[in-house]
Amino acid sequence: MPHKQTILLVDDEKAIADILNRAAAAVFPAAEFIHIDSFNEAVEYFLGLKGKGPRLILLDYNLHSSMTGLDFLHLVRHHPHGRLVPVVILSSNPSERLVKEALLFGASAVTAKPFSFADWKAYVGQLRSYWFDIATIPSLHFC
């Protein structure tokens, strides 16, 4: 069995987690999504990490709270190990302002959320191809 690739998904929409898991089953079975649906839970999870951490973070920009995905990104980028984890911002409508702001905060990339299941499968396949086959990502161990 292939080695599991842990991906932290911070998104307040359960449907996104469901569709990512279904898409991954088809095109990236080694993906293991850890879904967290709020800013506060994401902070608690991230600051409480012990041992092996996520290889990639998919982070929704709009968390439907007073704190945005960029607030969580700020915390991740100021963590000694977190600054090494690639963070891809997800947005339903990535405006140029959002893209610039996210990159200035330290996002690795900004992507639009796909609309159809076929598009989500292609998205997950491209994530796998780039972040796990092409790019070299360090294995991180949190203390």
125 with 27: CB under 8 angstroms? yes
Other CB atoms within 10 A of residue 37 CB: 17
Please report which confidence band the pLDDT of residue 89 belongs to, taking 50, 70 and 90 as the band edges.
very high
Using the predicted structure, report yes or no on whether residue 108 has a pLDDT greater than 50. yes
Class of domain 5-92+108-142: alpha beta
Please report, for the chain, the start and end positions of each structural domain, with discontinuous segments joined by +: 5-92+108-142
How large a percentage of the chain has pLDDT more than 70?
99
For the cut 90, the answer to whether the pLDDT of residue 111 exceeds it is yes
The set of long-range contacts for 34-37, using a CB threshold of 8 Å and a minimum separation of 24, is 34/6, 34/7, 34/8, 34/9, 35/9, 35/11, 36/8, 36/9, 36/10, 37/10, 37/11, 37/12, 37/13
pTM (2 d.p.) = 0.94
| More confident of the two residues 81 and 32 | 32
Q: Is 97 exposed, middle or buried (0-12, 13-18, 19+ CB in 10 A)?
A: exposed
